[in-house]
Chains A and B, each alone.
Chain A
Amino acid sequence: KNQVEQSPQSLIILEGKNCTLQCNYTVSPFSNLRWYKQDTGRGPVSLTIMTFSENTKSNGRYTATLDADTKQSSLHITASQLSDSASYICVVSARDAGNNRKLIWGLGTSLAVNP
């Protein structure tokens, strides 16, 4: 069964600290993996997209890694800011039994950055 699992479920860190969020997936065949940031009450915004051949991709203070062999991805946030407080969602693209593309959404990690 295609699944995306994220950990931890929630995380609290102090402003200025780094953190790493995890995403494990059991999706096959794999097409790409995205990380979205969702501020409370607002729509998600895409941070990064990674295909099978990419290991690392950065977007400012956000760095995503992908290990397609172990089916794991991580999102590293450097020098956190209060505005980083949000839910971070991992989304994996796959194909269903009818060879149609579909997205598998994780439940997200809720990050709180405290002053």
Chain B
Amino acid sequence: DSGVTQTPKHLITATGQRVTLRCSPRSGDLSVYWYQQSLDQGLQFLIQYYNGEERAKGNILERFSAQQFPDLHSELNLSSLELGDSALYFCASSTRQVEDTQYFGPGTRLTVL
């Protein structure tokens, strides 16, 4: 158990809908990262937050947004969903810097029908 929790574990929705994925980092970790992993693909970095502020952006679509709250939990919002958004979404946390060991949550499997 990495100490990172993600909810929900599974999510099934229809095209055009909006969903919110939630992540709670390990106790004491200030950085939160979001990744997308499509079937049989590598991890794609989406975005990083550090202590409530956006720190780095990867290949995140404009339809996606995220935020980190004062209690350091984070949410990833996906809107106008398309079939191609079906994937595993992982949240990870680290102490501070991007070079620190990242601890990954169990992921949320999103299926868009």
Contacts and interface: CB of A to CB of B under 8 A. Distances in A.
B43 A105 contact: yes
Nearest to B107: A43
Contacts of B97: 101
B42 A43 contact: no
B102 interface: yes
B52 interface: no
B104 A45 contact: yes
Interface residues of B, number: 20
A107 B42 contact: yes
B73 to A, nearest CB: 17
Nearest to A49: B101
Given A41-B107, A43-B90, A105 B42 contact: yes
B72 to A, nearest CB: 18
Interface residues of A, number: 20
8 contacts: A32-B99, A43-B107, A45-B104, A46-B101, A49-B101, A100-B56, A105-B43, A107-B41
Interface of A: 31-32, 34, 41-46, 49, 89, 93, 100-103, 105-108
Given A49-B101, A89-B42, A102-B56, 18 more contacts: A31-B99, A34-B101, A41-B88, A42-B104, A43-B2, A43-B105, A43-B106, A43-B107, A44-B90, A44-B102, A45-B2, A46-B102, A103-B98, A103-B99, A105-B42, A105-B45, A107-B41, A107-B42
